[in-house]
Amino acid sequence: MSRNVTVGRTGASHKYVLRPFSVLAAAALFFPLLAQEPDNSTIRANVPLVLAPVTVTDKKGNFIDGLSVNDFRLTDDGVPQKIRMDTSDTVLAPVSLMVLIQASGISAPALARIQRVGGMIKPLVIGQRGQAAVIEFDDEIRIRAEFTSDADLISAAFQRTRNRSIRTARLIDAVADGVKMLDTRSPNNRRVMLILSESRDRGSKSKLSEVIEQAQRAGVVVYAATYSVQGSTFLSSPPTSPSMPGGDNNLDILGGAIELARIGKANVADALARTTGGRHLSFLTLESLENVISRAGEEIHSQYLLSFTPTPSGKDGFHQIQVAIPSHPDAVIRVRLGYWPQK
């Protein structure tokens, strides 16, 4: 069932449609499972339940609704898996949202727009049962709001964001801190990160490949809304949002996240979105930022949640997930690249 939410946007009221998202109540992202062979040698097993939120659209970006579990085919390292899909009678999963805001002085024009959209977070992204926390970053990482469901506190955190350095923007370090905070939330919650910043990193000490792995292990899905400093300053027309691969489009298995981290060194936001099954969009104007947040919220509440129990394996490294929908061969599918066995 869909529900309409009316939100004030730039002096007008607009109706957005939010689709409820449900999960298996007993699902948890990571519980270790160890099995013993008769000779007492240890087999390292994968996590007993892997969750894979899947976004399905047509080529024009319209969400494809009404699919059943029988429409999906999922493989784990090429091995077909028996999958389950959440149904409308399961418990609704609250959204735990971490918002990261770049506060560098060079981002002042974009920051002025970001400060005005905090009121959209509760109705469009986290809903009534969700919580959001806000971090700002430049040469430091500062918590503006701990996890809260209070819309006024969330909005105030956006409005209070201020810059303390001119050019430094420790995006990767901020993501690492945000993942740690999200990892304290219930494993039954949807763990989502929304990045409002440039695409690039300016001065982090953390390694992108390591932070990507941390995000994947914690089950965090990253949505990045990025801007060009030059374009934001001069208010040029917003660029076309970068396309994102879905399923096996354009991305072979990359040895986990390491190769993608190398490729995405100059575009940290894109690498984070790709490897976690999220989305990377761009904005320049206030209106385009509002549209990005609206789109991210609608997508979060329109996903299909697939889950499966992998066959025990001796593989310690990254496991690749691929999803196909034979009944919709032209569908654009986005899902996390894979998962890591419990350490």
Q: Bridge partners of 54?
A: 304
- What's CA 300's distance to the chain center, in Å? 9
pTM of the model: 0.75
Per-residue pLDDT, 312: 72
Contact 152, 183 (CB under 8 A): no
Q: Which CATH superfamily is 1-343 part of?
A: von Willebrand factor, type A domain (3.40.50.410)
pLDDT tens figures, 103-147: 999 989 999 999 999 999 999 999 988 999 999 999 999 999 999
Length of the chain: 343
CA dist 226 and 238 (Å) reads 11
Query: At what angle are helices 208-217 and 268-276 packed, to 10 degrees?
Result: 30
Per-residue pLDDT, 64: 93
Per-residue pLDDT, 265: 52
Over the range 295-318, which residues count as b (16 or more CB within 10 Å of their CB) and which as e? bbbbbbbbbbbbbbbbeeeeeeeb
Instruction: Indicate the burial class of 210 (C-beta count within 10 angstroms; 0-12, 13-18, 19 or more).
Output: middle
CA dist 272 and 293 (Å) reads 17
Q: Bridge partners of 9?
A: 12
> Which pair of structure tokens corresponds to residue 66?
């009404």
CA dist 307 and 142 (Å) reads 35
Over the chain, what HEC string results?
CCEEEEEEECCEEEEEEECCCECCCCCCCCCCCEEECCCCCEEECCCCCEEEEEEEECCCCCECCCCCHHHCEEEECCEECCEEECCCCCCECCEEEEEEEECCHHHHHHHHHHCCCHHHHHHHHHCCCCEEEEEEECCCEEEEEEEECCHHHHHHHHHCCCCCCCCCECHHHHHHHHHHHHCCCCCCCEEEEEEEECCCCECCCCCHHHHHHHHHHCCEEEEEEECCHHHHHHCCCCCCCCCCCCCCCCCCCCCCCHHHHHHCCCCHHHHHHHHHCCEEEECCCHHHHHHHHHHHHHHHCCCEEEEECCCCCCCCCCEEEEEECCCCCCCEEECCCEECCCC
Per-residue pLDDT, 148: 98
CA dist 157 and 191 (Å) reads 20
pLDDT tens figures, 212-243: 999 998 989 999 999 987 654 444 443 333 33
Low-confidence ranges of the chain (pLDDT < 70): 1-48, 87-92, 230-266, 342-343
